[in-house]
Structure 1
């Protein structure tokens, strides 16, 4: 093989190795705007606050993304 072909082959191998790496995602804190008619009780605030951890858990289980902080 000539040197140009060898270099091209090495470049393709290096690039293809990084293609399969998981994408990174940042999950920012957010607040839900509760427009339901439910009263704004402590239980309701705790329920809506639990959505961020559920989102993080769901993304971790899929394994498609690396969560960054």
Structure 2
């Protein structure tokens, strides 16, 4: 039995610093933000709209062609 038959993954999710330069780097390399806007993400985590959202969640789909 090989290791590849025991474990598989499809997505890579990272905590990225919430900065334009950092997020552009991830997007340039094929990552997509889990939440389309900061407002939606703040609502999900119960952060006030005037509060600061430190990390963002970009993900990469390993099956993407």
TM-score when normalising by structure 1: 0.26
Larger Rg: 1
Which one has a larger percent strand, Structure 1 or Structure 2? 2
TM-score when normalising by structure 2: 0.27
Which one has a larger percent helix, Structure 1 or Structure 2? 1
